[in-house]
Amino acid sequence: MNFILLIIVAIAGIIIGSYFGVKKDGLIFGQTKKKKENKERILKFLETNEKVTNNDIEKLLGVSDATATRYLNELEKEQKIKQIGTVGHAVYYRLM
């Protein structure tokens, strides 16, 4: 009996969480919108600057090192920027 009740509560939680997560003013939508805006800011920054580093992105957007790296990796996978260098402080990015 307790197991069935647990399953029902879990399913209800998933449904409610999904509803609030995908609403236009919901958390997931807001995060997705902010990510898209930040990636666009990076591309605009690169239009006026020849190259950009992870530290430049941290300062530009006020984000952590991990977030800056994630944005740059996503833009690289989308083939909008190209990474020059492999590791460390010598790594920078350019528009494709």
**pLDDT value for 2:** 81
pLDDT digits (tens, 9 = 90+) for 44-77: 999 999 999 999 999 999 999 999 999 999 999 9
**pLDDT value for 49:** 94
**DSSP code per residue over the chain:** -HHHHHHHHHHHHHHHHHHHHHSTTSHHHHHHHHHHHHHHHHHHHHHHSS-B-HHHHHHHHT--HHHHHHHHHHHHHTTSEEEESSSGGG-EEEE-
- List all residues 6 or more positions away from 75 whose beta carbon is below 8 Å from its beta carbon: 39, 42, 43, 81, 93
**With a threshold of 0.85, does the pTM exceed it?**
no
**pLDDT value for 60:** 96
**pLDDT value for 91:** 93
Tell me which DSSP letter residue 17 carries. Answer: H
**pLDDT value for 27:** 61
Statement: 2-95 belongs to CATH 1.10.10.10: yes
**pLDDT value for 17:** 74
Domain spans of the chain, in order of start: 2-95
pLDDT digits (tens, 9 = 90+) for 16-46: 877 766 555 556 667 888 999 999 999 999 9
